[in-house]
Amino acid sequence: MFIGVLKAIHSGNCIVLKFQYKFKAFVIATISVLLVMLIDYPLEVVSKKAFLRSQVKADFNWFKSDLNKQLKQLNDFFVENDNLTPSCTPATLLALRKAHFNIQNIAELGIRDPKGNLICTSWQKLKKPMKTSGIKPTKSKRLRFFGPIAANFIGETALIIAKTRSDGYEINALLPQSLLNRRINELDRNYTYVATVDARKGKVVTVVGDYTLPINYPLFPLTKPLTVKGVVFDDAKKHFLIIEPLKYLPRLALMIAIDENVLYEDVYYPSYSHVALYIIIFLLIFIFTEVYQQNYQSRKSELRNYLKQGRFVNYYQLIWDSNIKQFSGAETLVRLKHPIEGVLTPNRFLPDIESNHLNISLTYAVIKNLIADSAELIGWDSNIKININITGEHLKDAYFKQLVFALNAVIPHLVLELTENELIDLDDQEVIQTMQDFKDQNILIAIDDFGTGYAGLQYLKALPLDILKIDRSYVSAIGTESQLAILLDALIELAKTIGIDVVAEGVETQEQADYLLSKGVFLHQGWLYHKASPASQIIGNLEKRIL
C-alpha cells in the first residue's frame, strides 16, 4: 500500500516535470528556429529576388531574341534582294510576298524610290508612286529604322525597318504596333512597360505600358547592356530595368521595366520548402531538448528533490586497528534511498551528482546526517575518528567551513579525506587559510586513494597531511608480481619516512591483512572487517574483536 502511494506521488511529479520539460523544449526550439530564420530568411529573400530578376531577364532575352531574329531575316532578305527590280514585276511581287509570309510580324514589305515615294508593296503594284511620311532613303547602307508612322495600307501605326540599296532605292518592312503589343502581352508578368527606344537619345519608338526613366541615372547614349535596380524612377517608384541595344540594329534598344513592389510582391513570404525546413528544425530541437532534459535536467531536479527530502543517508565503514584489536575509526559513505528502487550505492548516482554540480550540496547533507548520527557513533567510544570525503571546491565554500566546525564540536576526532585525483589550488590563499583553520581545531587531513593520481608527492610536500590512505588497487596486487605490488612497498616506506599514519583500503582477505601487518601497516579498511552500514547497525560491530 505504502509503495503504491509512493509510486502515485512519483508519477504525479513525473507528469509535472514532463510538462515543464515540454514547455522549456518548446521555448528553446522556438528561439532556435527564430535564430535560424534570422539567418536563413534574409538569404531566402535575396535568393528569391535574384530568381525573379533572372525570370525578367529570361523574358527580356526571349523578346530580344525574337526581335533580333526578325531583324536578321530582314537584313538577309534586303542584302539578297539588293538587285531586285524596283518596279513591281511579277518576280518582284513574288519575292516580296515570300518574305512577307516567311518573316514573322511583318505587315508589309515595300520599295521606295530615292525621293521617298513608295512604288511597290508586297500587297500590290501601285498605279502611281505614293508620297510617304518617312524620311527619304539615306546614303548609308546599314539597317535603320524610323517611325512609328501611320501606314495607310494596314490602317495603324508601324515601325519601319529599312535599308538603302546600292542603286539608291530603299527596301523596307512594316512591323505593326499591334503585332508588337501582342508579343509583349504573351509575357507572364505585369510589366510597367516594354519599349523600343532610340539608343542615342532615348526617344521612344514603340511602348506598351507607362514609360518612365530612372532619376539621376543616365542611360543614353546607350553603348552596352545595362541593368538597373533599387533606383527611383520618374514616377517616384523603384523599378527593375533591363535595356540593351539590338544586335542587328544597334541604334534601336529594347527596354523592359517592372515595379519592384510588383516584382517582389510575394517574395517576403517563406516558401513551402523553407516552412517545412523550419518545422523540421523545430521538431528536431524540441525532441532533442526534451530528451536531454529528461535524461539530464530531470535527473538534476530529481536529485535536488531527493536532497530536500533527506533521501541521501550516511553509511559508515569501520576502520580496524590491529595494534589495539578494535575499530578505531569509520569512513562516512553515502547512500540514496530511492522511493522505488531502494538503497542505491554511489556508483548509481555519484556521476550524476558530479555532472550536475551538486557535490557541495550532497556534502552539506552528509555533514548534517553525521551531526544527527554523532550521538550513536561516539556513544561507545568518544575517541573514534570519523572520516568524511571532500574535494578542493569545498575548501573555498564558507558554509561548508561553518558546517565542519559545527560537526567538530560534536565529533572531536574528525578527519577530512582529500582525493589525490582532486586538483587543489595550492596557491590560493583562501584554500591555505581554510586548511590552517581546520588544523587549528585539531581536524586531521588525509589523502585518499593515494597512488592513483599525479599530485601525490606535491600534496605530501605542500599539505599538512596526517593520514595516507593507500588505494585498494595496490592492496589487490598483494601476492602478485605486478608493478603495483612493488609500488605498494615503496608507498608504505614513503609514509613511514615522512612519519604519517597509513590506512590500507580494500582489505578483503586474511592474506592481504597478514602481508600489510608484516610491513607495519596496522590500520585496515575493507570487507574482511566490516561492510558499510547505517549508524544504528554498527554499535555491535564496534565491540567486535578479531583475534
Least confident of 201-215, 446-460, 520-534: 446-460
Query: Is pLDDT at 475 greater than 60 in this prediction?
Result: yes
For residue 181, the SS3 value is helix
Instruction: Give, for 356, the enclosing helix (H) or strand (E).
Output: none
Rg (CA), the chain: 50
Q: Looking at the domain 310-540, which fold is it?
A: TIM Barrel (3.20.20)
DSSP state of 274: H
Angstrom CA distances, 59 to 65, 194, 196, 218, 287, stand at 10, 11, 15, 24, 46
Lowest mean pLDDT among 50-59, 80-89, 131-140: 131-140
End-to-end C-alpha distance for the chain, whole angstroms: 47
Whether 126 has a pLDDT exceeding 50, the answer reads: yes
3-state secondary structure 136-164: CCCCCCCCEEEEEEEECCCCEEEEEEEEE
Q: Which residue has the higher pLDDT, 541 or 312?
A: 312
**For a pLDDT cut of 90, what percent of the chain falls above it?**
42
pLDDT of residue 3: 36
Q: Which residues contact 57 (CB under 8 A, 6 or more apart)?
A: 227, 242
Confidence band of 453 (pLDDT split at 50, 70, 90): low
The confidence score (pLDDT) of residue 540 equals: 60
pLDDT at residue 154 in the model = 62
From CA 92, how far away is CA 444, in angstroms rounded?
A: 126
Torsion of CA 75, 80, 86, 89, to 10 degrees: -120
How far, in Å, CA of 163 to CA of 171, rounded?
6
501 and 468 Cβ atoms separated by less than 8 Å: yes
Band the pLDDT of 211: cuts 50, 70, 90.
very high
Of 543, 542, 485, the C-alpha closest to 519 is 485
**Any idea which residue has 585539531 for its cell?**
442
Lowest-confidence range among 147-151, 405-409, 499-503? Answer: 147-151
What's the rounded Cα separation, in Å, for the pair 120 and 125?
5
What's residue 448's pLDDT?
87
Amino acid 52: pLDDT? 93
How far apart are alpha carbons 446 and 170 in whole angstroms?
Answer: 116
244 in Cβ contact with 56 (< 8 Å): no
Residue 15 is predicted with a pLDDT of 60
User: Model confidence over 257-308: pLDDT tens digits?
Assistant: 999 999 999 888 888 888 898 899 899 988 887 777 666 666 788 899 999 9
Alpha-carbon torsion angle 494, 496, 502, 504, nearest 10: 60
* pLDDT at site 50: 93
Q: What does the CA dihedral 188, 191, 193, 195 come to, rounded to 10 degrees? A: -40
C-alpha cell at 544: 567486535
